[in-house]
Amino acid sequence: MKLGLVGDIGGTNARFALWRDERLEAVRVLATADFPTPEQAIRAYLDEIGQAVAEVDAVCLACAGPVRGDEFRFTNNHWRLNRPDFCRQLGLSELLLINDFSAMALGMTRVLPEELVEVCQGSVDPERPRLVIGPGTGLGVGTLLPLGDDLWRALPGEGGHVDLPIGSLREAELWRHLHGIQGHVSAENILSGSGLLTLYRASCALDGRETQLSSPAEVTDAALAGDAFAVQVLEQFCCWLGRVAGNNVLTLGARGGVYIAGGMVPRFADFFLVSGFVRCFREKGFMSRYFDDIPVWLVRAEYPGLLGAGVALQQAREGRQAGLA
């Protein structure tokens, strides 16, 4: 395989790396605001690492949002991309665009054991789907299907926008408050960075408290410092993540295991591991025993999206198109 370039592009940052011999090299993180176009960002990246553009023959970019056709508009930044123009400007023979959480899912096939923290013990069923779910800027949900011979298909979807489930009277009260403000309440409305702040404000409104915290980081920091009300809010966040993850497991039959990914949960990993996540993950009435042997891991890998983009590019270059989605 010739030299490839992979990217994992979010709203604020674009992560780039070379993909050679099935490994990442020369990872760099650039601010999307510093560049008018992705082409210019890639040229700046290659200049920084001293790599000639002409030596790169294929690019795979993992992008937030549905990927269809030759035109792509990035969800959370100002970049736009036209596939033929992109290839012409960079002299490429190949550009592969995949959904960012499809890349995240494929990245799970390459994470190292030491990059996974066990949340629930269990046994992997190698023939069944695996669920990848991660709160960050939004809520990403992906499905990983094993196809045999170390070939994987990552199914893209918009599972973060399903209805927020209700499993307790407190959750019903919170949902009713949110619905009165915004109408439809999706899982992502709570299970994301901005969602944690929304949950904090809704909790304050229900309990007649004045809001004192103004960012998701402040809510998390206050909870980790022992503030009782912030602890309650972060605990509710973990419980709702458990309910949404459990619903997805039942829908997909994801007995291959569950990966908790994304940028948020690793920041409060110790809190998460003793939270109500596991209880709410399994709390499914007469189907609760279904979860007894399903493993769950918290992902602490640094660049799983880049790894997944590399896997997608590798499978495409080897003609194993079934692995791409």
- Residue 171 phi/psi, 5° resolution? -65, -35
Contacts of 163 (CB under 8 A, 6+ apart): 184, 185, 186, 187
Residue 12 annotated as binding? yes
Using DSSP, state whether 11 is helix, strand or coil.
coil
Contacts of 216 (CB under 8 A, 6+ apart): 193, 194, 196, 197, 264
Residue 107 annotated as binding? no
Question: Nearest CA to 4 among 105, 87, 95, 79?
Answer: 95
CA distance 108 to 231: 30
Give the dihedral of Cα atoms 263, 82, 92, 46; nearest 10 deg: -50
Residue 11 annotated as binding? yes
Residue 7 annotated as binding? yes
**Annotated binding site: which residue ranges?**
7-12
**Annotated binding site for ATP: which residue ranges?**
7-12
